Structure 1
């Protein structure tokens, strides 16, 4: 299972370029997720944290399809929100939702020092080739007292499904288990909340379609099952000041 075991695949530029050349894969992955036993959505928690901070100007790095950015702007219409992504397709999708967006590399942001009151990095820091360099860059463009809001997955995220397909859980450079320590190298105060989520697949074909977005080999290896199935996800939402 090379796509999952080799962590370098998560940060390799050519691999991520292929993954996010269009919005299709990301939309397929997003569509299956819902709250876990606590009824808490990490996306809702992340948005609540951002909105409650009362930021004036917010930068999002790795904005994906722009759904999160749009939800923040809907809840806080006066916010000055700028979304960025390395993928032109993601930037185009975000702009189509009415959110200002531009192509930019997270580790080389085209903004002046102290330009933003807050920043968002949602499910993307495991992709950047230079994690500490990216965090230094985010810290540079944040004003003193600015806050970075982050979401990432844990070591056992979808572990049961991956093992059923003959693989292993994905170990990345930035997980629930080490995120606070990594952020603590660049920010003085870090808080974390762990959230269990659920991925629900209506049938075997839906589960295979999900796996195929990042590993066709796993999709082919998943044993057949009848009816719907649900699998646990592990996510963390963090704030760093």
Structure 2
């Protein structure tokens, strides 16, 4: 991919997506398809995006018993997306099962498998008081990244604040995909561990995931190029 970020298509319907892409001439840009869109539009949405040359990160965050995840990944493998993911907290056996499913189901192309460490909507208080993880959030993310790598994942979803540390432990070729990216003048919304594109690049991110700073902007195309410029000049 020649562009450093996935544009999050957090829209309800395929009509909304097509209108947004056409209106802003975003044909061919890398995109993230999440639960909201995929659960409604499914394979047909993926096919349309592929027909228009979009690299695709299918962000479903699978988390279930290993057998179920393996079978689900087998079914997702031949969609032709570039990246799929699971929750690292599902454990090593589940991650390995996900990789087996992808390898068995892939035809022309094997998607990259990445694992979510700690959601960027969570902070230290949530981690300790609700999830009962008695580690600093960066330590917990680092531990889950090492688990993911040792279980066959190609990378992780992590906060930009943890990307450099994960690279140090897991190697420079281990992918770090960082959501929670905001332009400096954008709202944080429901994200807690946010970062600018420049900070993410400087701290070791391979790819960004950015949505509302662009999709909710008065001028989405202008903000899209602001992100590119900030990344390139970081």
Structure with larger RCO (C-alpha < 8 A, sep 6+):
1
The verdict on a shared fold, with TM-score over 0.5 as the criterion, is no
Larger relative strand fraction? 1
The two structures have a TM-score, normalised by structure 1, of 0.34
